[in-house]
A and B are shown apart, each in its own frame.
Chain A
Amino acid sequence: EAEVAQSPRYKITEKSQAVAFWCDPISGHATLYWYRQILGQGPELLVQFQDESVVDDSQLPKDRFSAERLKGVDSTLKIQPAELGDSAMYLCASSRQGLNTEAFFGQGTRLTVV
């Protein structure tokens, strides 16, 4: 069964360091999402791509976060420099284009900033 692949599963980094997460969506899914989930909360959208273009990054802290999907397939989310408050689960999801096409989530990357 096709699934969204994310790596790494877990990451521990020191504050002020750079960290990057990778996501490979389900083949054929044009829309890709990065969510952040703080413990005890629901996921919150950071950035949404349609193919290689950003369609919504209104909640992305652009002073330290960046995301790219250069060839419209896999994507990278970067944080530089990491802060203690960035500790969270970072979830990638993908969906087909079109109405009422829901997203499938990956297993996530659990980030701990120390």
Chain B
Amino acid sequence: GQQLNQSPQSMFIQEGEDVSMNCTSSSIFNTWLWYKQDPGEGPVLLIALYKAGELTSNGRLTAQFGITRKDSFLNISASIPSDVGIYFCAGRRGSEKLVFGKGTKLTVNP
């Protein structure tokens, strides 16, 4: 089946720092999504990308749909303590089911 490689697995940063994480696939996708999940809660959609090269922002979050269609990146600027959580990428090809990465666990030290 399709595999998504998400990195890094975990990050420990200081409040105020910028964060970058990425997701790569062995297959071409035409949709990339980024979710955040807090402990004991369901994932919440942050950003949706539908076009190769697309760059989309949501507040301090910016995500890009890679030109090759096999990768996507999420950046968080000026991190704050409430950014703590697990960030998941997810990709979809056509009408096929959504495939999730294993997540990047973010810890922000005040």
Decide: B100 and A42 in contact? CB cutoff 8 A. yes
> A56 CA to B50 CA in the complex, in Å?
23
Q: Which residues of B contact A (CB under 8 A)?
A: 4, 31, 33, 40-45, 48, 50, 88, 90, 97-98, 100-103
* Interface residues on chain A, size class: 20 to 34
Decide: A105 and B42 in contact? CB cutoff 8 A. yes
Decide: B100 and A43 in contact? CB cutoff 8 A. yes
Decide: A42 and B48 in contact? CB cutoff 8 A. no
21 A–B pairs (Cβ distance < 8 Å), ordered by A: A40-B102, A41-B103, A42-B90, A42-B101, A44-B100, A45-B97, A45-B98, A56-B97, A91-B42, A100-B31, A100-B48, A100-B50, A102-B33, A102-B45, A102-B48, A105-B42, A106-B42, A107-B40, A107-B42, A108-B41, A110-B40
Q: Which residues of A contact B (CB under 8 A)?
A: 4, 40-45, 48, 56, 91, 93, 100, 102-108, 110
> A43 CA to B40 CA in the complex, in Å?
13
Decide: B48 and A107 in contact? CB cutoff 8 A. no
Which partner residue on chain A sits nearest B48 by CB separation?
A: A102
> A104 CA to B4 CA in the complex, in Å?
21
Which partner residue on chain B sits nearest A6 by CB separation?
A: B42
A-B residue pairs, 9 tightest by C-beta: A42-B100, A105-B42, A45-B97, A108-B42, A105-B43, A42-B88, A107-B42, A91-B42, A106-B42
Q: Which residues in B have their C-beta under 8 angstroms from that of A106?
A: 42
Extra contacts, 9 of them, besides A42-B102, A110-B40 (Cβ < 8 A), are A40-B103, A42-B4, A42-B88, A42-B103, A44-B100, A91-B43, A93-B42, A105-B43, A107-B41
Closest CB in chain A relative to B24 CB, distance in Å: 14
